[in-house]
Structure 1
Amino acid sequence: MRSSARVQLNVRLSKETVEKLDEIVDYYQENTKVGRVYKSDVLTDIIGKSYEIMEKQKSMNKRF
């Protein structure tokens, strides 16, 4: 579900964080069959999954 409207973010990250991101991108590249994997795609996926987890936790907390 990729939107055509995009926003560019300019962020400063530690070297350690960039190295971890590069390693994650390499992992995605090796384990997917969709062609070239970009950092933005990986970050979008990670954020989407984290958001889903957060929403589940929020709904669980409302039950109690």
Structure 2
Amino acid sequence: MNEEDKKVQLNVRISLETSRMLDEIVNYYQQNTKLGRIYKGDVLTDIIEKSFAVMKKQQNKRF
């Protein structure tokens, strides 16, 4: 099993409003992608990876 196949389970508390927003985002992904079933973990992973890339770009511009 390579590093990318390893997963950790997160147990986090979020507000009800944030949960509703996540549900709406998941629904949006589901309707606008052809990947089949989309899960909350997939959406969160995508959001985190994109945010991380933006952060790294901004950090590189400063130095």
TM-score for both structures, normalised by structure 1: 0.92
Shift of 1:26: 0.2
- Structure 1's consecutive aligned runs of 4 or more residues displaced over 4 angstroms after TM superposition are none
The count of residues paired between Structure 1 and Structure 2 equals 61
Shift of 1:4: 1.3
Q: Which residue of 2 aligns with 1:21?
A: 22
**In the aligned structure 1, how far is the partner of 2:41 from the partner of 2:5?**
14
One-letter code aligned to 1:28: Y
3-state SS of 1:36 partner: coil
3-state SS of 2:4 partner: coil
Cα RMSD, aligned residues only = 1.2
- 1:1-64 maps to which residues of 2 (within 5 A)? 3-62=4-63
Q: Which runs of 5+ in 2 are unaligned?
A: none
One-letter code aligned to 2:38: V
**In the aligned structure 2, how far is the partner of 1:17 from the partner of 1:61?**
31
Deviations 1:3-50 (A, max 9, x none): 210000000000000000000000000000000000000000000000
